[in-house]
Structure 1
Amino acid sequence: MTDKPVAEMSFEEAMRALEEVVGKLERGDVPLEESITLYERGAELKKRCETKLKEAEEKVAAITLDGDGNPTGTTPVEGM
């Protein structure tokens, strides 16, 4: 498991780390205290993934199309 702060992870890094956490929890071979720590980290990673997906959706939604359906640029999205 990486020690990189969750807030600095890319979507892909967070997904890989989340898959690792889920795998460990599913195996059930970790002590209770470690399971709690893993669960907390998993919750942070899930939130990071959701945030990054929302950001990507907002960027895609901001792309404007011309009459032929071709991208013409982007429209600023509040908070971006």
Structure 2
Amino acid sequence: MGDTTVDISQLSFEDALRALEDVVRRLEGGEVPLDESINLYERGEKLRQHCQARLDAAQSRIEKIVAGPDGEAKSTETFGSE
């Protein structure tokens, strides 16, 4: 998934997460030249935002599913809470 020409908005959550993991792995490796590191960091931030938006949309859909007939949520938990 190292292709930086792929339109992030078209990626599934899973593909975006894999691409973000690849960016992090490359940055942590320390073998990337400075200019490329900056570009990778920018792409990583866009991927993170895309993943967060997809998670927020999923949470919203789940809350609608568990809403009662009056539109109020029967019970909700913060997504990812334990």
2:45 corresponding residue in structure 1: 43
Q: Percent identity?
A: 43
1:30–1:63 CA distance, 2 compared to 1 (3 A): same
Q: What are structure 2's unaligned runs of at least 5 residues?
A: 72-82
Larger Rg: 1
Structure 1 residue ranges (4+ consecutive) displaced by more than 6 angstroms after TM superposition: none
* Aligned Cα root-mean-square deviation (Å): 1.7
2:35 partner letter: E
2:62 corresponding residue in structure 1: 60
Q: What are structure 1's unaligned runs of at least 5 residues?
A: 67-71, 76-80
State the TM-score, normalized to the length of structure 1.
0.78
| Matched positions, count | 68
